[in-house]
């Protein structure tokens, strides 16, 4: 797998420090996969791993949060600018194997991969999305989800608290979760109490994105696993959380 040069279709700011970058890539992508993105030649040295938000007619969309130098550069991209991409990477989700009532649970920018997941699911889908401030990207899910539940720690227009306060795993056949590790850990613990199957999308700092450097490894019951190629999707009960 090698980096290839692609063009920016659009790069839209949707909330403070939150953007959706659309690239003309044309790849077949599984829900839950990601790309390594790089829009610079020298500094910073490493590309940035960004989850696939949605795929439409050869355009791959990435929802991302500006957190440092690399994502700051991404946020400045304009249509027709060049980006170097490596991917799609990771095991992804076989969405067609999930049936019944399904809960998607996200925290913050963990909502990014959930749209492509929702689009591939066949069942009754509920989205639980937790945010620190104002919610974002929610409207895109209305076409695919039966119910949408939103919490915010600071926006008084929504339930004030954590998303785990309003989620009951007993109601679902399967749960899919992405967000801060402390939230994922809590969701997995809740699902264990009701023997509800739970799948998690893990995040970690990455250098190579192809499994060679072991920099993104996480602890599981079977030993260390690389988030980039062994994941990012894992059975929640297999992960040994550090949070």
Per-residue model confidence as pLDDT tens digits over 39-80:
988 777 788 999 999 999 999 999 999 999 999 999 999 999
User: What is the pLDDT, as a whole number, of residue 243?
Assistant: 59
The CA-CA-CA angle for residues 208, 28, 97, to 5°, reads 100
- Cα torsion 32, 24, 209, 66 to 10°: value is -80
Least confident range from 29-33, 126-130, 138-142, 156-160: namely 156-160
Token pair for 109 = 């920018």
Q: How far apart are CA 196 and CA 190, in angstroms?
A: 9
**Cβ within 8 Å of residue 6, ≥6 positions away:** 23, 24, 25, 82, 83, 84, 85
- Across the range 156-183, mean pLDDT stands at 92
> b vs e for 68-83, b when ≥16 Cβ sit within 10 Å of the residue's Cβ?
eebbebbbebeeeeeb
Which range is least confidently modeled, 77-86, 126-135, 146-155, 176-185?
146-155
Q: Residue 170: how many CB atoms within 10 A of its CB?
A: 10
**154 pLDDT exceeds 90?**
no
Q: For a pLDDT cut of 90, what percent of the chain falls above it?
A: 70
Q: Strand, coil or helix: what is 220?
A: strand
CB atoms within 10 A of CB 225: 21
Q: 205 pLDDT band (50/70/90 cuts)?
A: confident
Average pLDDT estimate for 144-168:
89
pLDDT greater than 90 at residue 155 = no
Tokens describing residue 76 = 């400045």
| Burial class of residue 142 in the structure, from the number of CB atoms within 10 Å of its CB (0-12 exposed, 13-18 middle, 19+ buried) | exposed
pTM as predicted: 0.93
């Amino acid at each position: 797998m090698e980096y290839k040069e692609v063009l920016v279709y659009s790069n839209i700011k949707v909330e403070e420090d939150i953007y959706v970058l659309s690239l003309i890539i044309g790849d077949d992508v599984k829900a839950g996969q990601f790309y390594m993105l790089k829009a610079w030649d020298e500094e910073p040295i490493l590309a940035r791993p960004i989850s696939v938000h949605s795929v439409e007619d050869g355009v791959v969309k990435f929802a991302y949060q500006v957190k440092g130098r690399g994502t700051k550069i991404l946020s400045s991209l304009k249509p027709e600018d060049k980006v170097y991409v490596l991917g799609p990477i990771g095991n992804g989700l076989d969405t067609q194997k999930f049936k019944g009532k399904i809960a998607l649970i996200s925290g913050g920018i963990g909502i990014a991969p959930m749209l492509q997941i929702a689009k591939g699911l066949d069942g009754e889908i509920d989205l639980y999305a937790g945010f620190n401030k104002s919610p974002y990207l929610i409207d895109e899910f209305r076409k695919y989800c039966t119910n949408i539940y939103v919490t915010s720690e600071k926006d008084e227009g929504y339930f004030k608290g954590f998303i785990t306060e309003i989620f009951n795993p007993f109601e679902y056949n399967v749960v899919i979760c992405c967000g801060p590790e402390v939230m994922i850990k809590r969701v997995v613990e809740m699902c264990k109490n009701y023997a509800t199957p739970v799948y998690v999308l893990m995040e970690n700092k990455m250098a190579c994105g192809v499994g060679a450097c072991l920099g993104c490894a996480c602890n599981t019951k079977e030993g260390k696993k690389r988030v980039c190629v062994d994941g990012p999707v894992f059975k929640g009960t297999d992960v040994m959380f550090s949070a």
